[in-house]
Amino acid sequence: MTDYPQLNLLIGGEKLDGAGRDTQDVLDPSSGEVIAALPMASKEDLDNALDNAQAGFKSWRNTSADEREGILRKGAALIRERAKDIGAMLTREQGKPIQEAMGEMTYCAMLLEFYAGECKRTYGRTLVRPAGQRVEVRHEPIGAVAGFSAWNFPALNVMRKIGGPLAAGCSIIVKPSEETPAAGIAIVQCLLDAGVPGDACQVVFGVPDEVSRHLLGSSIIRKVTFTGSTAVGKHLAKLAAEDMKRATMELGGHGPVLIFNDADVDKALKVMAAAKYRNAGQVCVSPTRFLVEEDVFERFRDGFVDHAKGVKVGNGFDKDTQMGPMASGRGPDGIQAKIADATAKGAKLLAGGERIGNQGFFHQPTVLSEVPLDAEIMNEEPFGPVAMINPVTGYDAMIEEANRLPYGLAAYAWTQDAKRRMQLADDIEAGMVALNAATVSAADAPFGGVKWSGYGLEDGAEGVTACMVTKTVHEAI
C-alpha cells in the first residue's frame, strides 16, 4: 500500500488546495473507502485559468523548438524518475495491477519523448512560383486548448491531452477525471518542474458539465480534446461547434475480433484473452465481440473459458493479481445489468457473471456465448471484463458483423492467409486494425476512431498537427 497524496488544482503554477473551495471524495476502488478530498475549481478559479492560458499561449508559442524539445525531454525523464510513486497513486485510485500502472507510466514517458522530437518537425513548405512571387505554407499552434480525460488511464489519458498541444506550442487546461485525479496532477507537475511555464499547462477539477461549459464558453479556448463516452463526446462536439472550435474526440468502441478457421488458435487465445481482461476490460480498444469461424469455435470458446476462470482477481498491489477491481461502483452495476439482459435473451453464461465480495468494485472475468444481436451488450460498449463469443460462418458474414455497429475504434483479426489480411485491412471500418496481434497503440502511431468512435487523432505526428492551424502567406517581392 502507498500513501495517497494531498490533491490540488494547478493554476498559473500555483498549487491550490481545498481551503475555501467545495471538495469531492476520492474512493479506493478495492475497498470503497474515501482516500482523499479533491478541491473543485470555483468560477473565479476557472476564469483565472483562462486568463493564464491566454498569457501562457503567447509566451510558450514563442519559445524555440529546441527549447520546447529540451523541456519536454526533461519532463519525460522526471516521469521515469517518479514512475514508482505515480504508478502507486494510479493503482490506489483506479485499481489496476501495479505492473499495468508501471507500463502506463513508461508509455507516458515514451509518448512525451516522441512529442519532444516532433517540436522540430512541424514543417511548412514553399510553393513553386515565378520570380517575384512567394507562397509559403506554415503551421502555427492553434491557441489555448481545453482537455477533458477519463478515469481508465489516469496518467496516459492526461499525457495524451497535454503532449500534443505543448509540442505544438499551445497552452492547455486539462481536467483529469475527478475519480482518479492524483496521477494526472503528478504528470503535469513533472512538466512544470521540467520548465513548462505554470500558465502554459494547468489542472482544474469540478462538476464536469459545469467546467466544460465554462471553458468552452470562452473565446480564449480554441480547441477541445476529450476522452470518454460517445454520449458526452457528442454533447461537447455541439458546444465546440457553437464557437467553431476545433475538436478531437476519442470516444468509445466495441472491438470485433475475427478468428478465421486457419488462425493460430492457441496464440490467438493467449494474446486476446489477456487483452480482454487488461484493466478489467475498461479500455476503449478492448476486444469485445469475438466472432469465430465454426470449425474452430468450440476450441476457441473452451480455451477462453479456461483462461477466464484462471484469472487471478485481487487488490492491484498484490504481486500475483492479474485483474483489479473496476474503477467505480458504476462498473459492476452496469455489467450486471448487461449480463442479465443478455442471458434473459438467450445468451449462455460460461464463466463468471457475478460481483466478487461485498467490498470495493470487484467483478468476475466473464464469458458469454451465442449472444443474440439484440442483446444490449452486443450493441453498447460493455467497458468491463466480459467477452462475448459467437460462431460466424464465412468472410462476408464476419465483415458484416464487424461493421454492423456505429462504432469504429479498434478491430482485430487472426488468419494465416496473407491475402485475406490485406482484404481485411481494406474492409474493416475502424481507426486501428491489428492483424495477428493485440497491440493498436505506439507513441509514433496515430490513435483514434471513425464513426461514433470520434474524430481527430492523438499520438504520432498527427497528435501534434491536430493542435495546429495552417496559414498560407502569398507575397509579391
Piece in contact with ligand NAD (CB under 6 A), picked from 78-86, 137-145, 248-256, 342-350: 248-256
Q: Which of 284, 293, 458, 467 is catalytic?
A: 284
Interface with ligand NAD includes 407 (CB under 6 A)? Answer: no
Interface with ligand NAD includes 172 (CB under 6 A)? Answer: no
CB of 295 closer than 8 Å to CB of 347: no
Task: Quote the distance between the C-alpha of residue 439 and its chain's center.
Answer: 14
Interface with ligand NAD includes 279 (CB under 6 A)? Answer: no
Distance CA 36, CA 457 (A): 33
Place of cell 459492476: 332
Interface with ligand NAD includes 366 (CB under 6 A)? Answer: no
Among 171, 225, 227, 364, binds ligand NAD (CB under 6 A): 227
Interface with ligand NAD includes 308 (CB under 6 A)? Answer: no
Residue among 379, 377, 351 at smallest CA distance from 365: 351
Length of the chain: 477
**CA geometry: angle at 175 spanning 169 and 181, to 5°?**
120
What does DSSP assign to residue 401?
H
Residues whose CB falls within 8 Å of the CB of residue 304, separated by 6 or more in sequence, listed in order: 269, 273, 290, 367, 387, 389
The dihedral over CA atoms of 261, 267, 270, 272, expressed in degrees to the nearest 10, equals -60
| Residue among 155 and 263 whose Cβ is closer to ligand NAD | 155
Among 208, 217, 314, 329, binds ligand NAD (CB under 6 A): 208
| Residue among 150 and 399 whose Cβ is closer to ligand NAD | 150
Interface with ligand NAD includes 378 (CB under 6 A)? Answer: no
What does DSSP assign to residue 7?
P
CB of 140 closer than 8 Å to CB of 115: no
Interface with ligand NAD includes 232 (CB under 6 A)? Answer: yes
Site string for ligand NAD, 324-363 (x = CB under 6 A): ------x---------------------------------
CB of residue 264 to ligand NAD, shortest distance in Å:
29
Piece in contact with ligand NAD (CB under 6 A), picked from 76-84, 193-201, 229-237, 460-468: 229-237
Interface with ligand NAD includes 177 (CB under 6 A)? Answer: yes
Piece in contact with ligand NAD (CB under 6 A), picked from 23-31, 55-63, 204-212, 260-268: 204-212
Interface with ligand NAD includes 18 (CB under 6 A)? Answer: no
Interface with ligand NAD includes 100 (CB under 6 A)? Answer: no
| Residue among 268 and 280 whose Cβ is closer to ligand NAD | 280
Residue 273 grid coordinates: 484473452
Interface with ligand NAD includes 252 (CB under 6 A)? Answer: yes
Interface with ligand NAD includes 277 (CB under 6 A)? Answer: no
At residue 476, what is the residue type? A
Interface with ligand NAD includes 57 (CB under 6 A)? Answer: no
Distance CA 262, CA 273 (A): 19
CB of residue 205 to ligand NAD, shortest distance in Å:
9
φ, ψ of residue 348 to 5 degrees: the values are: -95, 130
Strands (E), 22-163: 23-27, 34-39, 125-127, 133-141, 144-148
Residue 394 grid coordinates: 464465412
- 284 noted as active-site residue: yes
- Give SS3 for 410: strand
CB of 166 closer than 8 Å to CB of 196: yes
At residue 112, what is the residue type? L
Task: Using DSSP bridges, classify how beta strands 468-476 and 410-414 pair: parallel, antiparallel or unpaired.
Answer: unpaired
- What are 139's strand-pairing partners? 470
Residue 403 grid coordinates: 461493421
CB of residue 11 to ligand NAD, shortest distance in Å:
18
Among 30, 94, 212, 465, binds ligand NAD (CB under 6 A): 212
By CB under 6 A, the count of residues binding ligand NAD is: 22
| Residue among 379 and 423 whose Cβ is closer to ligand NAD | 379
Site string for ligand NAD, 109-148 (x = CB under 6 A): ---------------------------------------x
Q: Which of 250, 293, 381, 429 is catalytic?
A: 250
Piece in contact with ligand NAD (CB under 6 A), picked from 9-17, 228-236, 316-324, 400-408: 228-236
- 298 noted as active-site residue: no
Percentages helix, strand, coil for the chain, rounded to the nearest 5? 40, 25, 35
Interface with ligand NAD includes 414 (CB under 6 A)? Answer: no
Task: Using DSSP bridges, classify how beta strands 468-476 and 133-141 pair: parallel, antiparallel or unpaired.
Answer: antiparallel
Residues whose CB falls within 8 Å of the CB of residue 199, separated by 6 or more in sequence, listed in order: 12, 13, 52, 53, 55, 56, 59, 171
Among 284, 335, 386, 410, binds ligand NAD (CB under 6 A): 284
CB of residue 150 to ligand NAD, shortest distance in Å:
3
Site string for ligand NAD, 382-401 (x = CB under 6 A): -x------------------
φ, ψ of residue 324 to 5 degrees: the values are: -90, -165
Among 60, 114, 115, 151, binds ligand NAD (CB under 6 A): 151
Residues assigned a catalytic role? 250, 284
Contact residues for ligand NAD, defined by CB under 6 A: 148, 150-152, 177-178, 208-209, 212, 227-229, 232, 235-236, 250-252, 284, 330, 381, 383
